[in-house]
Amino acid sequence: MNRIAVYCGSATPADPSYIECAALTGRTLAGRGIGTVYGGGRLGLMGAVADAALAAGGEVIGIIPQALVDAEVAHRGCTRLETVTTMHERKQRFTDLSDGFLTLPGGTGTMDELWEAMSWSQLGYHTKPVGLFNWQGFYDPLVAFVDRMADVGFLRAQHRDILIVDSDLDRLLERMAAYQPHVPITRMAREEL
């Protein structure tokens, strides 16, 4: 993997361990020679990922909507900062520029990005790994919900492993690198649907 799209919060929680998670991610990606593609912000976890990756000599590509540039939250120190018009354009650029998706703790925007990466994978719009860094169990309830969707039948068994979950970043990145794409819905037989 040459570049990974990192999805995470733009907020700075009171617990400093979340910023530590983001900084660890930026350093680790740069140390592995993997470029970071992210939302282009300078605040919260987003800024911490970018700052740590840049400090470690990594490539950082920010993709940010003009409205957020206007709100003065753009990270001007990125290797490259691309300004787009809409969130849809932003997410398409993440997909175009990256070889996988890595989600750290975050809020609704982070969830939007994660769910879209998973949905697009199910449909065959991309065949890239979708990783979830379960920092300190932050995503335990979400993982339980994904399991529930699978148990009930809303998530097909062959698509359950789209989401690669791990609490160890190095192991997660290794699992993402070894990911074997599944059969998307668009190529499944009628009886499998």
Q: What does the alpha-carbon distance between residue 66 and residue 58 come to, in Å, rounded to a whole number?
A: 25
Domain boundaries, the chain: 3-192
pTM over 0.85: yes
Distance (Å, whole) CA 26 – CA 156? 33
Q: For residue 167, what are the contacts with CB-CB under 8 A and spacing of at least 6?
A: 133, 134, 135, 136, 137
Short-list 179, 182, 173, 180, CA closest to 155 = 182
Read off the DSSP letter of residue 57.
Answer: T
Closest CA to 78 of 65, 97, 61: 61
**Top CATH class, 3-192:** alpha beta
H helix intervals, the chain = 17-31, 44-55, 66-70, 87-97, 108-123, 140-152, 169-177
Scanning the structure block, which residue is given the tokens 């970043």? 169
Q: Would you write out the chain's pLDDT as a tens digit for each of its 193 residues? A: 999 999 999 999 999 999 999 999 999 999 999 999 999 999 999 999 999 999 999 999 999 999 999 999 999 999 999 999 999 999 999 999 999 999 999 999 999 999 999 999 999 999 999 999 999 999 999 999 999 999 999 998 888 999 999 999 999 999 999 999 887 777 767 666 6
